[in-house]
Amino acid sequence: MTTLAILTAAGSGSRLGRDLPKALVELDGFPLVLHAARRLAASGVVDSLVVTAPHGLAGVMTDLLAGDPHVLVPVEVTSGGPTRQASVAAGLAHASPGDDVVLVHDAARPLVPAELVRRVVTAVRAGHGAVVPGLPVTDTVKQVSPDGDAELVVGTPDRSALRAVQTPQGFARDLLVRAHRTGAARAAAEHLAATDDAGLVEALGEPVHMVAGDATAFKITTERDLWLASLVLQETIA
Ligand code: CTP
Ligand code: MG
């Protein structure tokens, strides 16, 4: 019984707008993917890593991760797909028979605390087939529909029942495989918003449980997030 973490790092980082993929952009002198891999390894509950690399950069990614003294678990690098979902599926194909728990984590969340990784794995090992970390939403959220050159507000969901979802998301391996095979097709056919792996499990009609997220696991999308991450690191070291 082992836990595999799929580290998705094959995106281009178009919103960050650098001339290299986001996972390779440096934070405090190290690429985002390396920060994330070190933190997953440091959790003590991840036995191996599969990293999805951008097209043509599998070699670069392998050199970076396999040689790092802080990534003390076996690392395999595979080429990602054109979408995040395709990248996760490519990573999942590398699971070993003994990997009964699979985590999916975004390299774009480089500062994920080890404690959060442990919380997710513990909940899966306690018997929940799909577990996501989430945080209460602080902004009021409006639902809109297109209306000419503007948008029409059609509803205000009860904020107390809303959560912003993070990674790592954790799964019983068989359930995640089924979700990627059947849930993905069903979600597409029924126009469900399966924008994460848990969404594919929901499309199967299987339960997804939530544990408390952590603000430090925020996602790097823009330059401002990168600046924020460097401040967080400075504060942690000081
Ligand atoms: N990802 C991936 N394969 C893809 C697209 C995304 O492995 N085809 C990964 C990214 O590397 C990232 C995570 O999924 O770690 C979350 O995606 P996102 O934050 O959207 O990253 P990018 O797609 O790289 O950024 P952007 O959408 O701005 O281009
Ligand atoms: Mg993207």
Quick: pLDDT tens for 153-172.
999 999 999 999 999 999 99
| Ligand 2 centroid distance, CA of 229 (Å) | 19
Which ligand is nearest the CA of 11, by number?
1
Q: Which is nearest to 6 in space by CA: 63, 57, 68, 48?
A: 48
Q: What is the pLDDT of residue 183?
A: 79
Residue nearest to atom 16 of ligand 1 (CA): 106
The residues whose Cβ lies within 5 A of ligand 2, an ion, are: 11
Q: State in Å: Cα 11 to ligand 1 middle.
A: 4
Distance between Cα 222 and ligand 1 center (Å): 12
pTM beyond 0.85, yes or no: yes
Question: E strands of the chain, at which residues?
Answer: 2-8, 26-27, 30-31, 48-53, 75-79, 99-106, 130-136, 143-147, 150-155, 163-165, 169-172, 209-212
Asked if residue 238 has pLDDT above 70, the reply is no
pLDDT tens sequence across 129-154: 999 999 999 999 999 999 999 999 99
Please give all residues whose beta carbon lies within 6 A of any atom in ligand 1, as ranges: 8-15, 22-23, 52, 80-84, 87, 106-108, 219, 221
From 69, 28, 74, select the one nearest 51 (Cα to Cα). 74
- pLDDT averaged over every residue in the chain: 96
Q: Which candidate, 74, 124, 108, places its Cα nearest to that of 222?
A: 108
